[in-house]
Amino acid sequence: MSDPNCIFCNILTGDVPATVVDEDDRTIAFMDIAPATRGHALVIPRVHAPDLLSVDSEDLAAVAIASKRLAARAKERLGADGVNLLNSCGAAAWQTVFHFHVHVIPRYRDDPLRLPWVPGAGDPDEIAAAAQELARG
C-alpha cells in the first residue's frame, strides 16, 4: 500500500508537504518541485507501485483520467498552448522517483523545451525487425 522510504508515499501521508491541486478516490496530483514549465504537475496513484509495469490497471486508468483533467485546466486556466503527458519507466528512461507518476507539463509556444531526440528517417529493415518482436503472436 505504502512505502515509508518513498517520497511520494510521504506526500500522500502528509509527512512531506506538497501543493496538491487535484484528488479523487485513487489519485492525487501536486505541483512538481522543479517544474519544466509553469504549472508542471505530477499525478500519482494513492497505492504505491514503483512504475508503469507494476501499477494496478484501474489505478493506471484513474491516473490517465486525472491527467486529462489537469491538461484541460492547464489550457483553460494557465493559457497553455498544449500539454505533454510524460511517464518515465526505469532509470534508463530517466525515472528518478520510483512511485508511478505521470508528468502533466503545460506547453507554451515560446517555452524552451525541445524534443529529446532528433527526428529522422529510420532504417526500414530495423523498424520491421523490431515490429516483428513487438507484435502479438
Residue list 51-90, contact with Zn ion (CB under 5 A): none
Residue 137, number of CB atoms within 10 A of its CB: 3
One-letter amino acid of 108? Y
User: Is the distance from CB of 11 to CB of 18 less than 8 angstroms?
Assistant: yes
Residue list 83-102, contact with Zn ion (CB under 5 A): 99
100 lines the binding site for ligand 5GP (CB under 6 A): no
Q: Catalytic: which of 40, 99, 101, 103?
A: 101
User: Is the distance from CB of 96 to CB of 33 less than 8 angstroms?
Assistant: no
DSSP symbol at 8: H
Contact flags string 16-35 toward ligand 5GP, x per CB under 6 A:
x-x-----------xxxxx-
40 is a catalytic site residue? no
Dist CA 60 CA 9 (whole Å): 16
One-letter amino acid of 136? R
Residue with cell 496530483: 29
135 binds, among Zn ion, ligand 5GP, none (CB under 5 to 8 A by kind): none
User: Footprint of ligand 5GP on this chain (CB under 6 A)?
Assistant: 7, 16, 18, 30-34, 42, 88, 94-97
Catalytically annotated residues: 101
User: Footprint of Zn ion on this chain (CB under 5 A)?
Assistant: 3, 6, 8-9, 48, 99
